[in-house]
Amino acid sequence: MNENMGSAKVLFNRYLGSKSAMYRGGDYEVYNSCGISDETEQEWFKELIDRTIAELSIRDWGAITSLVMISSVCKDSLSVEKAAAFAARNIKSADSMVRLIFGEQLVELIRANKIVLTRDSLFEASRTALQTLENVIAEPLILDPGHELAQFQVKDKRALNQRAGKSIEALKELIN
């Protein structure tokens, strides 16, 4: 990989492939001057998505949020399927805040990629998101250190449940 391509890939990864974010960050001209082909960008998106999927965690929601941001630029059904599978296997052991935000972001990931999802993938991911959000409502409030409610403009369990309820309603609208 030549030096220009290497620096372009660094910018691509920093901005999660978003050229508009590169522009806002003042780096678009540098990236554009490297003349990266569409095929190379598609390879980089695949690598970026695979790496982000590997970073999914029950301790935080950074990777699922990144997948949503990537999906605003590059639609990919595999990211939805893998994120939903991760949530189905692991998210029940996360704290209430992680489950809420993971569920909210999973709904957004489904919304962003709906046009490339098969009917089965759409319903499977939606079912997982619904179960995640329903568990937030049904189970007692549990927070890990560093996940204070006030950080997320949530003052109590009731407000947490209301946010989960809004996402459930959004999900219902999405699949209808």
Q: For position 36, what pLDDT does the model report?
A: 94
Count Cβ atoms within 10 A of the Cβ of residue 67 and give its class: 0-12 exposed, 13-18 middle, 19 or more buried.
buried
Q: For position 154, what pLDDT does the model report?
A: 85
Gap between the Cα atoms of 44 and 27, Å rounded: 18
Gap between the Cα atoms of 150 and 81, Å rounded: 32
Task: Please provide the DSSP assignment of 125-137 as one string.
Answer: HHHHHHHHHHHHH
Q: For position 146, what pLDDT does the model report?
A: 82
Question: Which residue, 91, 92, 70, is CA-closest to 79?
Answer: 70
Q: For position 153, what pLDDT does the model report?
A: 83
pLDDT tens digit at each of 176 positions of the chain: 467 788 999 999 999 999 999 999 999 999 999 999 999 999 999 999 999 999 999 988 899 999 999 999 999 999 999 999 999 999 988 999 999 999 999 999 999 999 999 999 999 999 999 999 999 999 999 988 888 888 888 889 999 999 999 999 999 999 88
The answer to whether 160 touches 136, Cβ cutoff 8 Å, is: yes
Radius of gyration of the chain (CA): 18
The answer to whether 58 touches 99, Cβ cutoff 8 Å, is: no
Structure tokens at 136: 């937030």
Q: For position 59, what pLDDT does the model report?
A: 86
Residue with tokens 């049904």: 138
Q: What angle separates helix 96-113 from helix 62-71, to the nearest 10 degrees?
A: 10
Q: How far is Cα of residue 85 from the mean position of the Cα atoms in its chain?
A: 13
Structure tokens at 95: 């704290």
Q: For position 2, what pLDDT does the model report?
A: 62
Q: How far does the chain reach from its first CA to its final CA, in angstroms?
A: 47
